[in-house]
Amino acid sequence: MTRTKTIETSSLVGQEVLIKAWVQARRNMGKIVFLDLRDRFGILQVVAVPSELDAESAELLKDIRSEFVLAITGVVQARGAKQINKDMPTGGVELLAKKIEILSSAETPPFEIDNEERQANEELRLKYRYLDLRHARLQTNIILRHKVINFLRSELYKQDFLEIETPYISKSTPEGARDFLVPSRNYPGKFYALPQSPQQYKQMLMVAGFDKYCQIVRCFRDEDQRGDRQAEFTQLDIEQSFVKQEDILVLTEKLIIDLIREILPNKKIQQTPFPRISFPEAMSKYNSDKPDLRKNKNDPNELAFAWVVDFPMFEYKEGDKRWGVVHHPFTAFDPNKIMAVEKGDLKDIKALQYDLILNGSEVAGGSIRTHDPEVLKKVFKALGHSDKEIQSQFGHLMEAFKYGVPPHGGIAFGLDRLLMILVGEQSIKEVIAFPKTTDNRDPLMDSPSEISKEQLDELKLKKV
Ligand code: ASP
């Protein structure tokens, strides 16, 4: 007999089914035992009456406790009018158990699964993340994450975007954050870096002729964590050839509107087309480049998207006492200002950069790119890089641009952050299956952890 999902029982009254699921709760009512069985589709009430069970099952029933994994064969029956539970999708039926098999017993979990109100602290939740993930809220979040990714992928595929994987073991990329480094065994003293984003690879894919690229991709930035940041996070990364800023804005705006209509129909987008604010206007009006534009901040279903455009290309970093880029150095800027860049006059140069903001957070950012290698070189020089540094850090990209590079641009969505806002969570940890603690540890696997002397020796690394 094949396994039936709990949710399917509503339409199977009178039929014999086999359910395989976890025990969410057990209630003893004299001789009758009620079990709430849970699978990822929902909860089903099981009625176990010793007289209906075979002798072996009746014996096993005595031992069954929360979180046991059971296989129960029984008959689906309609509940009496008074017993109908309108809040449960399977609330109109119950399963009259005939045969019970214990597939796995379970110790008492370190926190309750059916009552998330009495929630454990973060350390305990992450140490037992596989149990934490059993909570209905997290199940819903993770399933929604899958649906969102599935929608985005299939929409982009329909529009001829190719999903192409780019390396994780790579080279340091200048996206403004600290790199995660990976020591090389074959080349002692040299290091790979985990990419802060696939920025340069996706641009080289444009040179290769893959004119529409997308990827659901992990990015790594060795930063201290906050509620909406993790050291590794997921982007929906997009790049396209022969496009203008307007094309990218229109493409991604439609993608997001369609996504919300299809997957989260109870959410209300405050304004479409998304309003556009220039960076100077945002700063003067709201003193922020990601203002929360919701008219009604108490409504959890209100989504106030807006594009922020006309960013400056360069900004003076007071802390470092030098000029830096607002987005990244590959961003194109006002072509009338090439001479100014050459002279190092970096104030008030408009970049072809755009951010998508939602309820006070930045959820996507991108730009049209500089594809002239000579102009790119001027940017690197203006940022204070020597010829040698330019060659060693960006030589590959400038070389690639010598062989016929299409004009191109793109954008990347911070998928975890977008999801966090869409489901109304306060932290991206609630939409990631296995996140790290705020201080960058994984209590489940106990990482980071020591490595053996042999491993260190092999890498020619010494502890100091
Ligand atoms: N690579 C950029 C980022 O991660 C996004 C982009 O310009 O496409 O922010």
Half-sphere exposure of 426 (CA within 13 A, CB side): 0
Q: For residue range 152-183, what is the model confidence (pLDDT) as tens digits?
A: 999 999 999 999 999 999 997 666 789 999 99
Co-location of 19 and 157 in the same domain: no
pLDDT in tens, 215-246: 999 999 998 877 678 999 999 999 999 999 99
Residue to substitute in 328, 330, 354, 397 for testing ligand 1 pocket (most ligand atoms within 8 angstroms of CB): 328
Give the Å distance between the CA of 280 and the centre of ligand 1: 21
User: Which of these three, 84, 104, 124, is where a domain ends?
Assistant: 104
Same domain, 37 and 78: yes
> Does residue 456 lie within any of the structural domains?
no
Sheet holding 361-368, edge to edge: 162-163, 212-220, 232-241, 408-414, 361-368, 353-358, 305-309, 276-278
Which of 353, 397, 349, 396 has the alpha carbon at shortest distance from 372?
397
42 lines ligand 1 (CB under 6 A): no
What pLDDT is stored for residue 173 in this prediction? 66
**Do 15 and 144 reside in the same domain of the chain?**
no
Residue 287 lies in a domain: yes
Task: Indicate whether 111 belongs to any domain.
Answer: no
pLDDT tens-digit readout, 59-112: 999 999 999 999 999 999 999 999 999 999 999 999 999 999 999 999 999 999
pLDDT in tens, 186-200: 999 999 999 999 999
Is the Cβ–Cβ distance between 78 and 72 less than 8 Å?
no
**pLDDT for the residue numbered 432:** 98
Domain span holding position 356: 134-432
Query: Do 85 and 163 lie in a common domain?
Result: no
Shared domain check, 43 and 172: no
CATH number at residue 175: 3.30.930.10
The pLDDT score that the predictor gives to residue 175 is 64
Q: Is residue 450 part of a domain?
A: no
**Same structural domain for residues 163 and 60?**
no
Q: Is 366 in the pocket of ligand 1 (CB under 6 A)?
A: yes
pLDDT-derived band at 120 (thresholds 50, 70, 90) equals: confident
Q: How far apart are CA 268 and CA 272, in angstroms?
A: 10
Residues composing the chain: 464
Together in a domain, 100 and 141: no
Is 138 found in the same domain as 96? Answer: no
Residues 67, 146, single domain; the answer is no
Percent of the chain beyond pLDDT 70? Answer: 99
Token reading at 253: 């705006």
Q: Do 180 and 139 have their domain in common?
A: yes
The pLDDT score that the predictor gives to residue 227 is: 67
Q: Are both 91 and 151 inside the same structural domain?
A: no
Pairing of strands 305-309, 322-325: unpaired
Share above pLDDT 90 across residues of the chain, in percent, rounded to a whole number: 91
Q: What is the CATH number of the domain that holds 66?
A: 2.40.50.140
Mean pLDDT score across all residues of the chain:
95
From residue 7, alpha-carbon distances to 21, 357, 382 in Å are 12, 37, 62
Using one digit for the tens of pLDDT, what is the confidence trace for 395-447? 999 999 999 999 999 999 999 999 999 999 999 999 999 999 989 999 999 99
**How much is the average pLDDT of 240-259?**
98
Mean local confidence (pLDDT), 324-339: 95
Bridging pattern class, strands 276-278 and 305-309: parallel
The answer, yes or no, to whether any atom of ligand 1 lies below 6 A from the CB of 367, is yes
